[in-house]
């Protein structure tokens, strides 16, 4: 048995070419599954493996002599590539400038996003770390303004059939189960959305996803680490920013399409393959606004252990 994901339930198969192995031990150091050990100056598969090879690929990535190969769990030696030279990676200053200039953008010019740009965003997001390889993040790509708007309109219709979810009687019943903070959030944040989203849509104003020319939904599977879709969405967002696009994360849709029959039907209509604990929409487009100032932000707390 190996750690299961929606994509694979097998272990990675470790193949060692003893003739090429110089016994440096680098692969042994980076294998946190303890799948590898050195014996008589050569690496071999150990009997102390914790989960079975998870196919993280670290051993292949570090080996100086291509002496180790991993096959299975969606990985193979063909997935390895030469690293770009160090001077081509961005500096802290460049990265910080990108982070600091980003603002949530919800106003877009009338221009669709070129398929090559969408590919670039997705390719960059694929590099995101994941709880456990292979990534169990799924993407729904809505790649035109018309499709994005149609999705929002359908979501509004769906919300109108779900009003009981934010009714006083339901929230009162749920309060002992989900607690005071959730109750406050539902009453003060979620409930107004049920009114504002469809209400504005009827006036022709789309505040669900702002008629963006591109929306991508990042979501998991029943196996996914809940953080994974969010980590991937963040990578996509910054990649898009580096390509000159404006972006905005949208957190309100995902939790409202998880539970119940109507939610399942809605997901099925859009080929959303799973319900999942966490998920996030990101919208992208060429910005119609230009922010002139950055905004200093703070964390709720930063505590260092003595």
Ligand X SMILES: Cc1cc2nc3c(=O)[nH]c(=O)nc-3n(C[C@H](O)[C@H](O)[C@H](O)COP(=O)(O)O)c2cc1C
Is 26 an interacting residue with respect to ligand SF4 (CB under 6 A)?
A: yes
Q: Which of residues 43-62 bind ligand SF4 (CB under 6 A)?
A: 43, 53-59, 62
Q: Which does 104 bind (CB under 5 to 8 A by kind): ligand X, ligand SF4, none?
A: ligand X
Which of 41, 251 has the CB closer to ligand X? 251
Task: Write down the least CB distance from residue 237 to ligand X, Å.
Answer: 9
**Interface stretch with ligand X, choices 52-60, 99-107, 125-133, 173-181 (CB under 6 A):** 99-107
Q: Which does 124 bind (CB under 5 to 8 A by kind): ligand X, ligand SF4, none?
A: none
**Interface stretch with ligand X, choices 43-51, 62-70, 149-157, 244-252 (CB under 6 A):** 244-252
**Interface stretch with ligand SF4, choices 66-74, 110-118, 241-249, 296-304 (CB under 6 A):** 66-74
Which of 178, 291 has the CB closer to ligand X? 291
Query: Pick from 16, 113, 248, 272: which binds ligand X (CB under 6 A)?
Result: 248
**Residue 272: other Cβ atoms inside 10 A:** 19
Binding site for ligand X (CB under 6 A): 103-104, 106, 248-252, 280
């Amino acid at each position: 048995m190996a750690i299961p994901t929606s994509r694979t339930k097998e272990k990675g198969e470790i193949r060692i070419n003893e003739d090429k192995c110089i016994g440096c031990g680098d692969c042994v150091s980076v294998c946190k599954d303890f799948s590898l050990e050195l014996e008589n100056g050569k690496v071999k598969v150990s009997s102390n493996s914790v989960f079975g090879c998870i196919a993280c690929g670290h051993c292949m990535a570090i080996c100086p002599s291509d002496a180790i190969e991993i096959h299975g769990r969606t990985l193979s030696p063909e997935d390895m590539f030469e690293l770009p030279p160090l001077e081509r990676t961005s500096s802290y200053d460049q990265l910080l400038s990108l982070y600091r200039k980003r603002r949530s953008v919800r106003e877009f010019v009338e221009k669709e996003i070129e398929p090559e740009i969408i590919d670039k965003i997705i390719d960059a997001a694929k590099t995101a770390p994941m709880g456990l390889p292979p990534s169990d993040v799924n993407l729904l790509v809505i790649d035109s303004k018309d499709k994005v708007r149609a999705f929002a309109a359908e979501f509004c219709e769906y919300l109108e059939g779900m009003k009981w979810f934010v009714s006083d009687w339901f929230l009162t019943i749920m309060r002992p189960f989900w607690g005071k903070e959730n109750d406050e959030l539902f009453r003060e944040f979620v409930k107004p959305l049920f009114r504002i989203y469809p209400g504005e849509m009827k006036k022709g104003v789309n505040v669900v996803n702002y008629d963006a020319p591109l929306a991508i939904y990042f979501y998991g599977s029943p196996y996914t680490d809940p953080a994974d879709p969010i980590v991937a969405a963040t990578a996509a967002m910054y990649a898009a920013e580096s390509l000159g696009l404006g972006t905005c994360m949208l957190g309100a849709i995902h939790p409202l399409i998880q539970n119940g029959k109507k939610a399942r039907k809605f997901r099925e209509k859009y080929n959303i393959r799973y319900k999942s604990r966490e998920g996030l929409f990101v919208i992208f487009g060429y910005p119609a606004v230009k922010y002139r100032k950055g905004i200093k932000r703070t964390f709720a707390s930063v505590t260092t252990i003595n």
